[in-house]
Chains A and B, each alone.
Chain A
């Protein structure tokens, strides 16, 4: 995984969840970020789709259980590989 995509997603998540970027890592999940609820999950999906120009299926949206998984998913989409 490129650090660039992970870093961009960390910054994006920081803005959406109102948490300092340094407190967000690949291991961060809705359990560790209190403000990551279903609404912010959808906001994250919409922000990812807009920023990276990707389309996420309902199944992929459900699989986004951590910031690391989100970054892997986006990277896979950008490389055209299925996740």
Chain B
């Protein structure tokens, strides 16, 4: 086999369709398909600093693998801003045909050559092939904590399929739902948290149609507390959350007339693990550390008012984690992994020291178009 990895062009589209068909007929999971249009619909390469590129691994005229590379500027604690690559959607024929087992490694190596400062995010847990490979290559890595808040305990207990995994679990959850103990427990906890945070109620929340210049001073202030964070200035936010995109609600949080933070919230697409629950997500957020709690409360209240049963978020920065906990969110097991190439990890050295100040959310992955 002679594999050549090259930019995905229109002439490859039919071969990608055939590649997807082979993966599916070979038993690959339903979501393991590559984009069938060569030009990305999300963040196309049109001169903006945030953009996607697609690449295909071609043997003669047959596509044997593909991956996507998202480019975005990131801020580092030393004050530099660098273009960083995010490696996503790697797919290899090796999933269904052992003769192509090496394609996955060739794809990753190609991405590392194109973007030596490279990261991966999400990946579904450490038992999956990609994180295993990254760890084998000596990438620095950590879990991005997952937080949730149950808004409607009855519906949560009855519908949360990911937890209703055995007869006894279902029985226990149904008993808690029907007896009202689930509701009582959640209410007591919420009241305790509200009492503790009563002082933080003096903020105003406004829904914005789009992000504009007012976010820039916030970005310049908040970034100083981050070891690494994707640039979140007005141009970037307008790119990620364009005014016409109704999947997201953009919140501006102010105190005494001055902006103190923002958040982006949205309802996740239906997912079988959540049953019929309406799941809201705090997709993205920014504030200086003293102002995070009102931002979390505003985001959470907005999703509650929109009728969500459950609110979830992933947050890597320790100050955001503390803010979500203070707002009544529970921490649960995460399968959302951040992994940095060796070259990128050099910028974060020592990784253990900088890890708590990395600011990664769901917005830094490929989840914006996939999940909303």
Contact = CB atoms under 8 A, between A and B. Distances in A.
A62 interface: yes
Interface in B35-59: 57
Interface in B77-113: 101-102, 104-106, 108-110, 112
Interface string B128-157: 000011001110000000000000000000
Given A38-B102, A45-B109, A59-B2, 5 more contacts: A41-B105, A43-B138, A58-B5, A61-B105, A61-B109
B3 interface: yes
Nearest to A57: B4
Contacts of A46: 109, 112, 137
A50 B136 CA distance: 17
Contacts of A58: 2-5, 57, 106, 110
Nearest to B133: A39
A11 to B, nearest CB: 18
A46 B109 CA distance: 8
Contacts of A43: 136-138
Nearest to B132: A39
B304 to A, nearest CB: 45
Contact of A42 (B2, B57, B137): B137
Interface residues of A, number: 12
B1 interface: yes
Contact of A40 (B1, B104, B106, B136): B136
Contacts, number: 43
A82 B1 CA distance: 18
A61 B106 contact: yes
B108 A42 contact: yes
Nearest to B5: A58
26 contacts: A38-B101, A38-B104, A38-B105, A39-B132, A39-B133, A39-B137, A40-B136, A41-B102, A42-B105, A42-B108, A43-B136, A46-B109, A46-B112, A46-B137, A58-B2, A58-B3, A58-B5, A58-B57, A58-B106, A59-B2, A61-B102, A61-B106, A61-B109, A62-B1, A62-B2, A62-B102
Contacts of A40: 136
Q: Which of B2, B106, B108, B136 has the most CB of A within 10 A?
A: B106
Interface residues of B, number: 20
Nearest to B107: A58
Contacts of B5: 58
Contacts of A59: 2-4
Contacts of B133: 38-39, 42
Nearest to A37: B136
Nearest to A40: B136
A62 B102 CA distance: 7
Contacts of B101: 38
A42 B109 contact: yes
B57 to A, nearest CB: 8
A39 B108 CA distance: 10
Contacts of B4: 58-59
A42 B132 CA distance: 13
Nearest to B57: A58
B315 to A, nearest CB: 30
Interface in A34-83: 38-43, 45-46, 58-59, 61-62
Contacts of B3: 58-59, 62
Contacts of B108: 42
